[in-house]
Amino acid sequence: MDLAPRSLTPLLAAPALLAALGSCATYAPDPLVPADELARLKSASVASLRLDEAAPRDAGSAPASFDPSDGLDEAELVAVALTLNPALRAKRLEIGESRALLLGAGLWPNPELGLAVRPGIDGAPSTGIAADLLFELMRPGERGACTSLAEARLASVRARVAADEYAVAAEVRRERVALLAAERTLALHEQESALRDQALDLVRRRQELGEARALDVLLVDLERVEAQRALRSARADRDRLQRELVATLGLPPNAPIRLKESGQPLAFAVGADVSDESLDALVVARRLDLRSLEASYLASEEALRLAVARQFPRVALGPSFEQDAEGTRALGLGLSVELPLFSRHQAEIAEKEAARERARAEYAAGLHQARARAFEARESVRRLRGEVETLRRDVEPIVDRAESQFEAAFRARELTVVEWLAARSRALAARRELLRALVDYAAACAELDAALGAPFTSPPLRDGRSEP
């Protein structure tokens, strides 16, 4: 049996074999151990934190310095959440997967090595052999479309991750405002509980002097019990909101956390009103979720372009060697052409066209929802700002004067303990209403910022005191 010459067959097969062996990856097992993952989550802390992500992509800037010893301000809270939040860390790994797709898009198709053995028939004395090494030629525009599609998908993933980061940052802002408000509410309830204790002590002493009845003592004691119940409820709300903030930050449930503004009066800075035209422009320009939908549309556009490029037949070209049964040898050029008799990728093209239209519709739906949310948030800010202004202008001065007059009348024994307690309770209730209005306004400002995709550089909560 006469086979191909030894000088040519290794020449064709060796390069392909060496290339395949040289680029092989090795498998390294990395088992998932739930106990290790739990220990990693439990070890997270602010004290030993190194900030990897300071601010959402394209939204705001990093805190000038990170010093958790004096409490965490808004920028530091956002930075901690972006660094430790497990969900965000998982989403960022999608960027690495998309980069791998981009690397693959730049590679040429692997060549094909073909071997054929033809035994002699009808009494032929020898066996013929043929070998060819064919390289697939890229279709017109296919290589550029592959690269553009991979780049578009990478941009889409990055935009989606940025939108998720912004959503977490917005949630941190809302939870921070709610926690600060809960702390102030708790302080008012502690003040009211102390007032009830003081009133009970006073009414008992007056009963001993014959200036109060046993019924008065009973009424004051019942109100003290109710105040203590409200105090316990306020403390539970504060603890719950703190746990929610800690969970969003990516810290263990029992991790200690202290806000920089804790114990300080809540004060607010009011931004300028936003017109309809400015609102639309800000939504389109700043909303990161809309950028993500826009990037997804561009990816569907490139996917369609690639599908159209692949409708043309595949062509492969390369060297070819053949030795026939008579021992005649030939070395030439081999050509392989796909015959598009049954499929010209019509189904894939139709699918990509439908996917592009769906991506356009999803962007339109997202834009509609974003505009509706922004308009509603702006109306809430306007309404609550008016409510705060009314309370500050009309109610707060009355409460201040009433409290001073109640104290003077009580010291002059013009009021009984029960009357004094009722008057002070109404004053504290009015202050709680003002606090609730201020907190609602701050939450509405944070919601408007999130609806407009505003950078987190002007928080509605400020140190000091400013009138809306």
What tens digit of pLDDT does each residue of 237-260 get?
999 999 999 999 999 988 888 888
Q: Does residue 464 register a pLDDT over 70?
A: no
What pLDDT, on the 0 to 100 scale, is given for residue 233? Answer: 93
Cα torsion 199, 203, 206, 211 to 10°: value is 120
DSSP state of 55: S
What pLDDT, on the 0 to 100 scale, is given for residue 170? Answer: 87
DSSP state of 69: G
Q: Does residue 161 register a pLDDT over 70?
A: yes
Closest CA to 336 of 178, 136, 160, 74: 136
Buried b (16+ CB within 10 A) or exposed e, 231-244: beebeebbeebbbe
What pLDDT, on the 0 to 100 scale, is given for residue 55? Answer: 55
SS3 state at 53:
coil
Q: Does residue 4 register a pLDDT over 50?
A: no
- Residue percentage of the chain with pLDDT more than 70: 83
More confident of the two residues 250 and 151: 250
More confident of the two residues 438 and 359: 359
- Both tokens of 403, joined, read 């409290």
* Contact criterion met (CB below 8 Å) for 39 and 71: no
**Each residue of 175-212: pLDDT tens digit?**
998 898 888 889 888 888 888 888 888 888 877 877 77
Beta bridge partners of 136: 316
Q: Does residue 35 register a pLDDT over 60?
A: yes
Q: Which of 21-35, 292-306, 322-336, 437-451 has the highest mean pLDDT?
A: 292-306
What pLDDT, on the 0 to 100 scale, is given for residue 22? Answer: 53
SS3 state at 13:
helix
- State the average pLDDT over residues 97-104: 73
What pLDDT, on the 0 to 100 scale, is given for residue 466? Answer: 36
Alpha carbon 72 to its chain centroid, in Å, reads: 20
| Mean pLDDT rounded to a whole number for the chain | 79
Q: Measured between alpha carbons, how far is 273 from 389 in angstroms, rounded to an integer?
A: 15
**Each residue of 280-328: pLDDT tens digit?**
898 998 888 898 899 889 989 888 888 888 887 878 777 877 777 666 7
Whole-prediction pTM: 0.74
SS3 state at 57:
coil
More confident of the two residues 357 and 403: 357
Q: Does residue 53 register a pLDDT over 60?
A: no
- Both tokens of 192, joined, read 């009211």
CA-based max dimension of the chain: 138
- Residue percentage of the chain with pLDDT more than 90: 11
DSSP state of 322: E
